[in-house]
Amino acid sequence: MAIVRREVSDRSLFGKLAKWAFIAFNAAMALWLMIGTGGSLDVAPPGGAEDPALGTELIVILWVVGAVLLGLVVLFTRRRKIVEIEK
């Protein structure tokens, strides 16, 4: 008779919340970036106080820092694998 190995995994409640917070954060940041750069087509003097690149840089920096921190939380709350052996 063959032995069947089946891997069963499930995240804890905190792990599920962390995963969905990571997904929601990235979606919100992508939306913010699209909305924030929508008005950057207006002519502005380069290097001025109204330089649209400064806002874009801020959004990207916040996105990277937040994604790294939340990504680490998601990584450390990943699924535990349980191997079931059926005969």
- Integer-rounded Cα Rg, in Å, for the chain is 22
Task: Note the pLDDT tens digit of each residue in 50-87.
Answer: 666 778 888 999 999 999 999 999 999 887 776 767 76
Q: Which pLDDT belongs to residue 1? A: 59
Task: Note the pLDDT tens digit of each residue in 39-54.
Answer: 555 555 665 556 667 7
With cut-offs at 50, 70 and 90, classify the pLDDT of residue 2: low
One-character DSSP codes across 27-82: HHHHHHHHHHTTTTTS---TTSTT-HHHHHHHHHHHHHHHHHHHHHHHHHTPPEEE
The answer, yes or no, to whether residue 9 has pLDDT greater than 80, is no
- The label of the residue with tokens 């820092």 reads 65
Q: What 8-state DSSP symbol labels residue 11?
A: -
6, 23, 53, 60 from 46: Cα distances, Å: 60, 35, 9, 19
Q: Which pLDDT belongs to residue 12? A: 86
The answer, yes or no, to whether residue 31 has pLDDT greater than 60, is yes
34, 62, 87 from 25: Cα distances, Å: 14, 11, 44
Task: Note the pLDDT tens digit of each residue in 15-29.
Answer: 999 999 999 999 999
